[in-house]
């Protein structure tokens, strides 16, 4: 960090590569569309690099970076999914309207059927996040999915720890209620099954077998790279939260080289 702030481009390259996947995974869960998340990640990283001199070391560097990301993602133009202003009721109606059916001829698919079903699942559970308002969504991603403490999440969102916990609690409650009533992954009594919806998702244009949004560039499961704050999260059945923690942690685009090129061709000053 010190070397990067002093103009060492190798150190800056290391710093960006270390944190770019975290920002991309946060952005993707906030905006749903991969291309929009990639653009947001680049913009966030440029803002961070040009503000390195303001990092005082009073928090972890990632917490400081999350705060820049949060400010950007709270104010960025709404994605196409957000423009729909979808509620949990709307999503329930949409899912009910997709007929249960077997996948089309699997030999005609560009990817294996299990990959397509996984993409359908990931797209659906990520769409559920879009039913939350932006602040609740951020609190859920930071606190529940990424396992940040209330203090770290509060610092990233410029909230008190109490307010952060309240945002997280509301988001967790609303998601749990919907998934417990609708999702077969959480409640086996529910008829909704990813494998039976994938064909309808493709027909509706929600799933593109030739353009995977959520399962490409998998590094690990989120739970394998993010902390687990189980002791803080006992208020509700956490099965629904575990589904989000079992989602892939994606590498996303490698923006370090592009970012350094932009910096070298501009008048940006990291000091």
Predicted confidence band of residue 257 (pLDDT cuts 50, 70, 90): confident
Residue 37 has pLDDT above 90, yes or no: yes
Whether 208 contacts 199, CB under 8 Å: no
Residues 6 or more apart in contact with residue 6 via CB below 8 angstroms: 271
Handedness of CA 141, 142, 145, 150 (dihedral sign): negative
pLDDT tens digits, 56-74? 888 889 999 999 999 999 9
Percent pLDDT > 90 in the chain is 65
For residue 250, the cross-strand partners are 218
Question: Which of 192, 190, 212 has the alpha carbon at shortest distance from 200?
Answer: 192
Which tokens hold the place of 187?
Answer: 């409640």
pLDDT attached to residue 266? 63
Residues 6 or more apart in contact with residue 62 via CB below 8 angstroms: 19, 22
Please state, in angstroms and rounded to a whole number, the distance separating the CA atoms of residues 22 and 147.
Answer: 12
pLDDT tens digits, 223-234? 899 877 655 555
pLDDT tens digits, 168-180? 999 999 999 999 9
Question: Which of 53, 61, 56, 49 has the alpha carbon at shortest distance from 22?
Answer: 61
The string of DSSP letters for 158-183 reads T--HHHHHHHHHHHHHHHHHHHHHHB
CATH 3.40.1160.10 fits domain 2-264: no
For residue 249, the cross-strand partners are 220
pLDDT attached to residue 269? 57
Which tokens hold the place of 135?
Answer: 């602040």
pLDDT attached to residue 234? 52
Please state, in angstroms and rounded to a whole number, the distance separating the CA atoms of residues 76 and 34.
Answer: 15
Q: Could you tell me how many residues make up the chain?
A: 271
pLDDT attached to residue 231? 54
pLDDT attached to residue 44? 96
- pTM, rounded to two decimals: 0.90
pLDDT tens digits, 83-134? 888 999 999 999 999 999 988 777 888 889 999 999 999 999 999 999 999 9
């Amino acid at each position: 960090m010190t070397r990067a702030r002093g103009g060492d481009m190798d150190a800056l390259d290391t710093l960006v590569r270390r944190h770019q996947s975290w920002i991309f995974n946060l952005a993707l869960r906030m905006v749903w569309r991969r291309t929009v998340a990639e653009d947001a990640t680049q913009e966030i990283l440029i803002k961070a690099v040009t503000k390195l001199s303001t990092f005082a070391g009073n928090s972890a560097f990632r917490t400081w970076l999350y705060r820049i990301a949060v400010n950007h993602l709270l104010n960025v133009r709404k994605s196409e999914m957000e423009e729909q202003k979808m509620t949990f009721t709307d999503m329930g109606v949409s899912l009910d309207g997709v007929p249960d059916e077997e996948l089309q001829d699997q030999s005609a698919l560009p990817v294996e059927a299990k990959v397509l079903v996984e993409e359908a699942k990931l797209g659906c559970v990520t769409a559920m996040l879009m039913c939350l308002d932006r602040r609740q969504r951020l609190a859920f991603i930071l606190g529940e999915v990424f396992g940040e403490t209330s203090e770290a999440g509060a610092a990233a969102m410029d909230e008190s720890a109490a307010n952060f916990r309240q945002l997280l609690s509301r988001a967790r409650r609303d998601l749990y209620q919907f998934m417990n009533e609708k999702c077969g992954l959480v409640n086996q009594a529910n008829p909704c099954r990813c494998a039976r919806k994938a064909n309808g998702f493709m027909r509706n244009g929600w799933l593109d077998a030739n353009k995977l949004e959520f399962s490409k560039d998998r590094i690990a499961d989120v739970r394998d790279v993010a902390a687990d704050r189980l002791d803080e999260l006992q208020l509700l059945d956490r099965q629904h939260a575990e589904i989000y923690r079992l989602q892939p942690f994606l590498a996303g685009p490698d923006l370090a080289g592009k970012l350094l090129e932009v910096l070298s061709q501009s008048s940006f000053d990291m000091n």
